[in-house]
Structure 1
Amino acid sequence: MNEARNILQMVHPLDASTVWSRLSVEARTAAEEEPVLASFLNATVLHHDTFEAALSYRLAQKLSDNEMNAMLWRDVAMSAYAAEPEIVHAALEDMLAYYQRDPACKQLTQPFLYFKGFHAVQSYRVANWLYRQGRGSLAFYLQSRMSELFAIDINPAARLGKGLFIDHGHGIVIGETARVGDNVSMLHGVTLGGTGKDNEDRHPKIGNNVLIGAGAKILGNIKVGNGAKVAAGSVVLEEVPELCTVAGVPAKPVGKCCGNAAQTMDQKI
């Protein structure tokens, strides 16, 4: 294990000041090692005093376009963070989930600066806040912008828990009435969709600590229990019990799950 990983394991995972300090150290070290990135790292990380200030700046950089410039998006994000500090808390847990579950993630700066799954989820969290404030027009504009940028489509009315890890991210679709618990891991190509044109509650309800493999489709108002595992490429049309592994088209139970597959990313059936 590298030094940064050892340090994180010795502190409380939700200690925002410690995480921010570690992120700043990584950015400063990277700026010294690669001077061509120094201006970028100063603007995105080192210039800011808090995690939320840096996060709002990074999201604004990504989301800006001809209609909504970066300053406007930053004001929107900071308003969300000030009104609901839990959004920042969730972002910290999301970032740590990437660091802890993705072997390709060597430093906290990687998801914060570069991973589109992380950026998409943080954009969703702002859009969800807007939606709940009755600002649907801007929430849906943000959803559209997020989909264009990251190839990830999350309805702002969906409810996603903290500690969410979306690996690679490309092709994720999460519908309006979907619910996702805490500490869930999903890979690219996952759909949490409906089965028709019902106007009511029509999307899946995913429990805590669930692992959803690449390309899996979970359709309809069905529950996937805590600690379950959905194998890659499966089409799930029926309820999945807690601690159950399902696979196939349509998906059927194929065994028990240990309950921590979302953390270990163990995708074996």
Structure 2
Amino acid sequence: MRVPRDHLQKVDPVWSRIRQEAAQAVLDEPLLGGVIHSGILHHDTLECALAYRISLKLASGEMSEQILREICDEAFEAEHDLGAAARADLMAILERDPATHRLIQPLLFFKGFQAVQAYRIGHWLWKRGRRDMAYFLQMRISEAFGIDIHPAARLGRGIMIDHAHSIVIGETAVVGDNVSMLHSVTLGGTGKEDGDRHPKVGDGVLIGAGAKILGNIRVGNCSRIAAGSVVLEDLPPNVTAAGVPARIVGKAGCAQPSVSMDQMLDER
């Protein structure tokens, strides 16, 4: 029997799981009932919940929650890829972060996930020529979450930013799919040059805490960058780079470093 198309559009296993987790969380911690109901159970879709969360976090005396909510709702309605990317990001965090056991954790509590979703709204505004509003969101994301992502930067799906303190991603940076990065990572320029001046990070890359990747350079797919490294030159795929300045010290050690999250160097 053929399932009606409109029914297929309503099937969302990620959102169904989030709602089940939320209902259980209310039973486990009734004092958070108001937070969980307003943040999750009151909404019909993940997109609605994200619009609520982003507008709540970024609202200020300069911009009301209502206006930001309308912007987010418009973005999610116009570009369905925003919701798909959010789901991929959620599943990436659940799979890779050993401290994450439920999907409600990133949605309610993790500033790395929330900041990336807010950035995606800013990027949507940027692509439509609404540059000043995109800059406003960038400012508020930095103030609220301590993460500075230029709205013109391009981030793929399945992004995990763990801990998420002091992340900086520049205007012409590109981050591929299924990338994991830890706190204090910088994807920056090397000076005052204009134009295309920021790193291009491939798919499946793992970037350790405090690593700096500077300049219009390329980091190949499925490579690892050790914590505290400063990368100034192109890196081929499937290698491990470490040091200041970074040098190739071996193979990546596995097919998907960003998924395995193995940051140990082979002493041999």
Give your verdict on TM over 0.5.
yes
Shift of 1:259: 2.8
User: Which amino acid in the other structure matches residue 178 of structure 2?
Assistant: N
Distance apart, 1:35 and its partner CA: 1.1
Equivalent-residue separation in structure 1 for 2:72 and 2:198 (angstroms): 27
Change (3 A) 1:44 1:233: same
Report the equivalent of 1:47.
Answer: 42
User: Is the CA contact 1:228–1:259 (under 8 Å) kept in the aligned structure 2?
Assistant: no
CA RMSD of aligned residues (A): 1.0
Matched, 1:144 2:134: no
Alignment coverage as a number of residue pairs = 255
User: Partners in 1 of 2:221 and 2:202 — Cα distance?
Assistant: 4
CA contact 1:226–1:259 (8 Å) conserved in 2: no
Is 1:265 the equivalent of 2:265?
Answer: no
Instruction: Indicate the residue corresponding to 2:56 in structure 1.
Output: 61
Q: Which runs of 5+ in 2 are unaligned?
A: 1-9
| % identical equivalent positions | 56
Q: Structure 1 residues 206 and 225, CA, compared in 2 at 3 Å: closer, same or farther?
A: same
Cα shift readout 1:72-103 (whole Å, capped 9, x = no counterpart): 11111111111110011001101111111000
- What is the rounded CA distance, in whole Å, between the counterparts of 2:185 and 2:34 in structure 1? 36
- The unaligned stretches of length 5 or more in structure 1 are 1-14
CA deviation after TM superposition for structure 1 residue 16, in Å: 6.7
The amino acid that maps onto 1:39 is G
What residue is the counterpart of 1:31 in the other structure?
26
Aligned-residue offset at 1:226: 0.3
1:181-200 equivalence runs, <5 A:
181-200=176-195
Q: Which amino acid aligns with 1:197?
A: K
Q: With structure 2 as the length reference, what TM-score do the two structures score?
A: 0.94
Report matched runs for 1:15-164 at 5 Å: 17-164=12-159
Kindly report structure 1 stretches of 4+ aligned residues shifted beyond 2 Å: none
Aligned position for 2:214:
219
Give 3-state SS (helix, strand or coil) of 1:245's partner: strand
**Structure 1 SS opposite 2:228:** coil
**CA shift digits 1:225-262 (9 cap, x unpaired):** 00000000000000010001000000000000123110
Higher mean C-alpha displacement, 38-47 vs 245-254:
38-47
1:209 to 204, 207, 219: 204
